[in-house]
Amino acid sequence: MAALDPITQERVYRALKAEYLAGRYSAGERFDIADIADRHGSSKTPVREAACRLMGERLVEPDSAGGFRVTVARPEELIHLYAWNAHLLLCLTQRIKRSVLTQALAQFSPDDIGDTPVDIAKLTGSIFLALATSTGNPEAAATILQINERLFYPRVDGATNVAEATRELRTMTNSDVVDVHKSIHRRIESYHERRIIHQQEIIQNHVERSTKD
C-alpha cells in the first residue's frame, strides 16, 4: 500500500521538487507520471499527489492533454512577481546593517557563478535569499524563497546570454563600494526593471500581432 504511505508521499514530493529546482525540466514540460514513479520507486498515486502539492505552490499547472506540466508564467504574472520581489528586497535591505549586508554579498565569489542558465538561476535565487535571511526574519526569507521557486524557470529562460547574466550577478554581489546600501538598491531596481520592461514588450508585441491579424 505504498501509495497510501505518508512517508512515501513525502519522499516523492521532496524528490520531485528537488528535480524541479535542479533544472531537470523546462517551462511547459509535461510530467511523465509513469517515468517519475519508476525513477523514484513508487506507484503513480504518490507522484500525482506530489504534483498536486506543487500545483498548490503554483510551480505546476494542469496540462491541456491531461496530467500536469511545469507552469508557464504569463507576462502579466511575471510583471507582478518581479515588482513584488523588488519591493520586498528593497524594503528588507534598507533595514540591514552595513556590515551584515556586506558580509551577505561577500559570500558569493565571482568564480562560483557557473556557466549555464540553470547555474545563473540558482545563484540569483541564492543571492536574494541571502539578503532576506540577513534580516533575521524567517518570514521574510520564506517569502523570498517562495518567489524564487516560482521564478526559477523564467530566470533560466532569461539567462540564455550567460556572459551578460554573469556580469550582472558579479555586479550584484560586489560589496567593495563606498555606499553598499545605495549600490545594492540600484542593482536590485535595475535587475527587476529590465525584466519587467522585457515582459511589457512581449505583451505589446502580442497586441500588435493581434491587431494585424
Reported as a single tens digit per residue, the pLDDT across 149-174 is 999 999 999 999 999 999 999 999 99
- Please give the CATH architecture assigned to the domain spanning 75-212: Up-down Bundle (1.20)
Per-residue pLDDT reduced to its tens digit, 103-161: 999 999 878 888 899 999 999 999 999 999 999 999 999 999 999 999 999 999 999 99
- Please give the CATH architecture assigned to the domain spanning 2-70: Orthogonal Bundle (1.10)
Q: 122 exposed, middle or buried (CB, 10 Å; 0-12, 13-18, 19+)?
A: buried
pLDDT of residue 112: 81
Is the model's pLDDT at 2 over the cut of 60? no
pLDDT of residue 142: 98
pLDDT of residue 213: 67
33 touches 44 (CB < 8 A)? yes
171 touches 187 (CB < 8 A)? yes
Alpha helix positions (H), 95-137:
98-106, 117-133
* Domain boundaries along the sequence of the chain: 2-70, 75-212
Per-residue pLDDT reduced to its tens digit, 23-41: 999 999 999 999 999 999 9
Is the model's pLDDT at 4 over the cut of 80? no
